[in-house]
């Protein structure tokens, strides 16, 4: 019975990784142009994902949902404080160059809670899960544009924080969704249907982008870098399972617990490469971390879901 249940979960998650494989194969075979990553990323982040967030928050107001939302907000803040603390500890004890430490620290803190996280949450929890995942990702955006920019290269980055950086389409969608939820506003039928159809393309497009990005990564150094394996162990197993054990000891409902733990256990964020390129970090190491953690998350994500 246990084995059958695990296989059923694995098969569900396998669908997501087949979509990643599709993007990987099309890029390797040069069926799509190199510009596909940037074009589809922009489409997902600026259009399809905001549409998915708005429709998933289009619920009638209830005190239970508001309590769940508040719980996810404060738990997510605590989880990020935990990951930041662990990242500084690893930075202190890990024998590496300063530029490598920047990337390792970034990889511990920032997971792929959007391109992989949303599809997994949608698969397991549906719209109610997306509703809460949007709050988790709102805090992700706050963290990545503040401490993330500083960590990726603290010695040469002169980027100053601007509140405008937080006003992304995803954050705007959360604000709109909150208004719809708090005031129980029903969207007109044609608008809701349009947003649902657009938002429904988020999962395949996002995972196609992940696969395409992974196709560009040089594999030769990945499997012999023990430090990268250590970071992978922390990102995929230690951190999420520690959060799981901690939340199980608290009066937290299953939905809040599940969304928080699964998003905490996602592979390294693809923005690690983007930020490394933008701010002079080690983007090759960031790419290797994305590949290894995304590959192994095909095993750890079903395990997390099974334990939940």
> Is 111 in a helix, a strand, or coil?
strand
Domain span including residue 135? 2-307
**pLDDT given at position 98:** 87
Helix axes 49-56, 117-125, angle to 10 degrees: 30
What DSSP string runs through 46-62? IIIHHHHHHHHT-----
Residue appearing with tokens 């107001």 = 61
List beta partners, residue 280: none
Higher pLDDT, 57 or 47: 47
State the average pLDDT over residues 166-172: 77
Percent of the chain surpassing pLDDT 90: 29
Give the tens place of pLDDT for each residue, 68-80. 889 999 999 999 9
Nearest-Å Rg of the Cα atoms of the chain is 19
Its pTM stands at 0.84
Task: Report how many domains make up the chain.
Answer: 1
Tell whether the model's pLDDT for residue 120 goes beyond 90.
Answer: no
What angle do helix axes 117-125 and 2-28 make, rounded to 10 degrees? 140
Q: Are 275 and 283 in contact (CB under 8 A)?
A: no
pLDDT category of residue 137 using cuts at 50, 70 and 90: confident
Q: What is the pLDDT of residues 192-249, one digit of tens each?
A: 999 999 988 888 888 888 888 778 777 677 777 889 999 999 999 999 999 999 999 9
Torsions phi, psi for 111 (to 5 deg): -105, 165
In tens, the pLDDT along 42-51 reads 888 788 888 9
- The CATH number of whichever domain residue 13 belongs to comes to 1.20.1530.20
Q: According to DSSP H, which parts of the chain are helical?
A: 2-28, 36-43, 49-56, 63-93, 98-109, 117-125, 127-143, 149-152, 169-182, 189-199, 202-214, 226-233, 239-248, 254-264, 271-278, 283-307
pLDDT level of residue 38 (50, 70, 90 thresholds):
confident
Sole residue written with tokens 């997306």: 130
């Amino acid at each position: 019975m246990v084995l059958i249940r695990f296989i059923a979960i694995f098969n569900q998650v396998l669908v997501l990784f087949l979509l990643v494989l599709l993007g990987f194969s099309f890029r390797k075979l040069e069926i799509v142009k190199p510009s596909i990553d940037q074009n589809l990323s922009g489409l997902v982040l600026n259009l399809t994902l905001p549409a998915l967030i708005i429709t998933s928050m289009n619920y009638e107001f209830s005190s239970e949902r508001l309590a769940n939302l508040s719980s996810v907000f404060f738990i997510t803040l605590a989880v990020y404080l935990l990951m930041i603390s662990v990242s500084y500890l690893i930075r202190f004890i890990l024998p590496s160059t300063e530029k490598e430490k920047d990337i390792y620290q970034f990889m511990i803190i920032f997971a792929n809670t959007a391109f992989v996280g949303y599809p997994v949450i949608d698969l397991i929890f549906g719209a109610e899960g997306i509703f809460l995942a949007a709050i988790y990702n709102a805090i992700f955006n706050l963290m990545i544009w503040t401490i993330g920019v500083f960590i990726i290269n603290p010695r040469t980055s002169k980027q100053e924080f601007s509140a405008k950086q937080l006003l992304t389409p995803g954050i705007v969608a959360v604000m709109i969704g909150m208004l719809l939820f708090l005031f129980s506003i029903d969207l007109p039928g044609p608008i809701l249907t349009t947003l649902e159809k657009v938002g429904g393309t988020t999962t395949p497009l996002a995972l196609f982008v992940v696969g395409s990005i992974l196709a560009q990564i040089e594999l030769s150094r990945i499997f012999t870098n023990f430090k990268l394996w250590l970071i992978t162990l922390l990102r995929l197993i230690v951190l999420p399972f520690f959060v799981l054990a901690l939340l199980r000891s608290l009066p937290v409902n299953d939905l809040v617990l599940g969304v928080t733990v699964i998003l905490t256990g996602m592979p390294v964020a693809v923005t690690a490469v983007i930020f490394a390129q933008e701010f002079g970090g080690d983007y090759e190491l960031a790419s290797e971390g994305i590949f290894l953690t995304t590959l192994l998350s095909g095993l750890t994500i079903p395990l997390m879901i099974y334990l939940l």
